[in-house]
Every structure is written in structure tokens, then in C-alpha cells.
């Protein structure tokens, strides 16, 4: 049996795909017997109640009068080093290059480079947005290059990282995942009936309502679909573009057919009432929400952007169109919603792909292999059989 590891995990603990994946990974690793230490400024929202082998260490920021802004990065690096020394951690796994990879490097310098290994996972915005900033480019490059191992959630993100930062260091592809025990088609007819009649279809969009999500395209698609197919649109989440979307809906006279659910914790339950997910983003390094929908048997109508084509198989688990082509997206949605046999095939393909290609057991084993490799430990990690 391979050595049980002591692993530190740092992520953004609030809403966001990177925090969700990091937290779920920690929980799965703890189930396998590893000791997991979350080092963040607040308890990750997906962590839940007390669980065996999981510990939380809060990063406290001292607001000294000499600092114009509280030095969170320095406090995080100091806390990382403190936890590493107190708990004898083997690995620090940080999610997001800035500031986490840089802080991990500082922590490693504090405790001694021979006493700690660091793994950095790139999730998207840390490269697609922050690396565009010339003032941050060298810092991000250093954080990546000083990591003992680097992973990214899609081939497209690996490509963009290399192009933007001229990175030659190996970057391993490690896709996001969903826990099949949580994400599966739920029986939720009573909940569905709260929003739609039996003859109506439900289109859904889940995001943080930022411009990059192109939420106005969601409304445009629904406006076209609803003229051909009796349907409702459900929005899940909150964000800066929400007021603009509400205004657009009123201008189109759709307010009686659109529902805003706000932030929801039980995403699997909510997605299960949908017939299709709309994801017309202009940037999406992976598209975790599309995987969550896929695992619940819900096809995606989306854009050819970033890592979405690596996740959604066009013509099998969804339909993809060029960014901004709402006519094509609406046409595909109508085609899918009108054809019961086609929809059933897509639904079955979604469930199979989610369970076999993005299985939590498979991805967890990949991360374990990476940890053991950077530690120089020979470990036979069997490839899980995902059912």
C-alpha cells in the first residue's frame, strides 16, 4: 500500500469552479486515507460539516497602520509555512497561479526547498485574464516555473498558458470532474412543476453573470426558442450583468416566462429539472457547469470557446456554435427539444461520458500519481474502472 500523504490545499473558498474542484478533490483524497489541510481565508463553501482526515487552517490578515492595504499574500505564505512545519505536510496543492502559486513558492523557501513539494493547478482566469496584465506576467511565470508540478484543466488552457507566458515547463492535462454520487439525474417532478407546465421545456443558465458569460445571448436564444417551443428560462446565480439581463427581458416582454433562482447550493437538484443548459460564453477554460449538467443527463447548447469542445461532444452530448451565433444555438436547441428520440440519445451519451471520461475516481487517481511522482515515491496507483 502506498504511503498516505499529508496534503495542503489552497484555493479561493467562495463560489467559483476552481474552489469547487479543489474542495471536492480534498474530500475525495481524505476518503482514500490521506490527511488534508485546507489553508484559506474562510471555510470552503463545499466543505460541509466535520469529516475525517480533513482540517481547516484560517489565514488571518493583520491590518497594520503602515500598510495601505492588508497584505493577504504575505499572510497566506506565512500560514502555509506554519502549517507545513506543524503538520509535516508532504505536498502543497494550490489552485490558481496568483497569488497561490507564488505564496507556495515563498512558503517552500521558508521551510526549506528539500522539505516540501508544490503542485499548481491552473483553472483559467489566472491565465486568460491576469496573464494579459503586463505587470503580473513575470510573477505568474515565476509561480508556474517554481512549482514542482503544474496541471491545467484543458488542452486549450495549456496552449494559452504556453503562448502568453512562454512556458516550457511540462503542464499535465488533468480535467475537472464531478462526484457521481452527487451528480446524477434526480427525480424532481414536483420542483419542476413549480416553474413549467407538463408540455413546456426548461432552458437553464448557471453562472456568475459576468460579461464573459454573454448572458444577453442566453436571453436572445430563449426568445427565439420560445417562439417555436413552449418553454421557460431559469437563471441560477448572481453577478454584475444581472440588472442588464432583467432589463433586456422586460424589453422583450419575456418576464412571465423567465425565473431567477439566485445562488443555489444543491446544483444537481436544480440542473435535473432542466431540459438543456445554455452556455454561450466567449471564454471558458473548461466549463464545469456543463459537466455538472452532463452528469445529470442534461445536454448543453454552447459556444466553441476555450475548453468547451473538449468537454461537450458536438452532435452527441450537445451542440456547439461559433461565439455570438445565437441563431445557430437557438436552431440546435429547437431541434433537440422537438425530437424525443434524438434527445434520449443525447441524454444517454451525456450520462455515459460524464461517468467514464470525467469520473471522480479517475481524476483523483491522476492527482495521486502526480503527488507521488514529485515526492519521488514509487506507488502503484491502479486505474479505476468507472461504471
CATH 3.40.50.2000 domain span(s) along the chain: 6-177+359-375, 189-357
Could you tell me the CATH superfamily of domain 189-357?
Glycogen Phosphorylase B; (3.40.50.2000)
pLDDT, position 26: 95
pLDDT, position 18: 83
pLDDT, position 12: 86
In this structure, the number of other CB atoms found within 10 A of the CB of residue 46 comes to 17
Paired sense of beta strands 149-152 and 172-173, if any = parallel
Give the strand order in the sheet containing 258-260. Answer: 258-260, 231-236, 201-206, 276-279, 300-303, 318-321
pLDDT, position 132: 64
For 13, counting Cβ atoms within 10 Å of its Cβ (0-12 exposed, 13-18 middle, 19+ buried), the class is buried
Encode the chain (387 residues) as per-residue pLDDT tens digits.
578 999 999 998 876 778 889 999 999 999 999 999 999 988 887 776 778 899 999 998 877 666 676 688 889 999 999 999 999 999 999 998 888 999 999 999 999 888 899 999 998 876 766 556 676 788 889 999 999 999 999 999 999 999 888 888 999 999 999 999 999 999 988 899 999 999 999 999 999 999 999 999 999 999 999 999 999 999 999 999 999 999 999 999 999 999 999 988 788 999 999 999 999 999 999 999 999 999 999 999 999 999 999 999 999 999 999 999 999 999 999 999 999 999 999 999 999 999 999 999 999 999 999 999 999 998 888 777 777
| Residue 266 main-chain phi, psi, to 5 deg | -85, 75
* pTM for the model: 0.92
- Of 292, 316, 312, 294, give the one whose Cα is nearest residue 304: 312
- Of 9, 80, 73, give the one whose Cα is nearest residue 46: 9
CA gap 90, 93 in Å, rounded: 10
- Of 154, 153, 179, give the one whose Cα is nearest residue 361: 179
For 96, counting Cβ atoms within 10 Å of its Cβ (0-12 exposed, 13-18 middle, 19+ buried), the class is buried
pLDDT, position 131: 53
CATH topology of domain 6-177+359-375: Rossmann fold (3.40.50)
Amino acid at each position: 500500500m502506498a504511503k498516505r500523504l499529508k496534503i495542503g490545499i489552497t484555493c479561493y473558498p467562495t463560489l467559483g469552479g476552481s474552489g469547487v474542484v479543489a474542495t471536492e478533490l480534498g474530500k475525495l483524497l481524505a476518503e482514500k486515507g490521506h490527511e488534508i489541510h485546507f489553508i484559506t481565508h474562510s471555510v470552503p463553501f463545499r466543505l460541509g460539516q466535520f469529516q475525517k482526515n480533513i482540517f481547516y487552517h484560517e489565514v488571518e490578515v493583520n491590518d497594520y497602520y503602515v500598510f495601505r492595504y492588508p497584505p493577504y499574500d504575505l499572510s497566506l505564505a506565512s500560514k502555509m509555512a506554519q502549517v507545513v512545519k506543524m503538520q509535516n505536510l508532504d505536498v502543497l496543492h494550490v489552485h490558481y497561479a496568483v497569488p497561490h502559486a507564488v505564496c507556495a513558492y515563498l512558503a517552500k523557501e521558508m521551510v526549506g526547498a528539500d522539505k516540501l513539494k508544490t503542485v499548481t493547478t491552473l483553472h483559467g482566469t489566472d491565465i486568460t485574464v491576469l496573464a494579459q496584465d503586463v505587470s503580473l506576467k513575470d510573477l505568474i511565470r515565476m509561480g508556474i516555473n517554481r512549482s514542482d508540478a503544474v496541471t491545467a484543466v484543458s488542452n486549450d488552457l495549456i496552449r494559452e498558458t504556453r503562448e502568453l507566458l512562454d512556458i516550457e515547463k511540462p503542464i499535465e492535462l488533468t480535467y475537472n470532474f464531478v462526484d457521481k454520487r452527487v451528480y446524477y439525474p434526480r427525480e424532481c417532478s414536483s420542483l419542476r412543476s413549480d416553474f413549467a407546465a407538463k408540455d413546456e421545456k426548461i432552458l437553464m443558465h448557471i453562472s456568475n453573470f459576468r460579461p464573459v458569460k454573454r448572458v444577453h445571448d442566453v436571453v436572445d436564444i430563449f426568445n427565439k426558442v420560445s417562439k417555436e417551443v413552449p418553454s421557460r428560462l431559469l437563471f441560477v446565480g448572481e453577478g454584475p450583468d444581472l440588472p442588464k439581463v432583467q432589463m433586456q427581458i422586460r424589453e422583450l416582454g419575456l418576464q412571465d416566462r423567465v425565473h431567477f433562482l439566485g445562488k443555489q447550493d444543491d446544483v444537481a437538484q436544480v440542473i435535473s429539472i432542466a431540459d438543456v443548459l445554455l452556455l454561450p460564453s466567449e471564454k471558458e477554460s473548461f466549463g464545469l457547469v456543463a459537466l455538472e449538467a452532463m452528469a445529470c443527463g442534461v445536454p448543453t447548447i454552447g459556444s466553441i470557446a476555450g475548453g468547451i469542445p473538449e468537454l461537450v461532444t458536438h452532435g452527441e452530448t450537445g451542440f456547439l456554435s461559433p461565439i455570438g451565433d445565437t441563431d445557430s444555438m437557438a436552431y440546435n436547441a429547437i431541434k433537440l427539444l422537438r425530437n424525443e428520440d434524438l434527445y434520449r440519445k443525447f441524454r444517454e451519451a451525456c450520462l455515459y461520458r460524464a461517468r467514464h471520461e470525467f469520473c471522480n475516481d479517475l481524476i483523483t487517481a491522476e492527482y495521486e500519481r502526480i503527488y507521488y511522482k514529485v515526492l519521488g515515491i514509487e506507488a502503484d496507483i491502479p486505474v479505476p474502472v468507472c461504471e
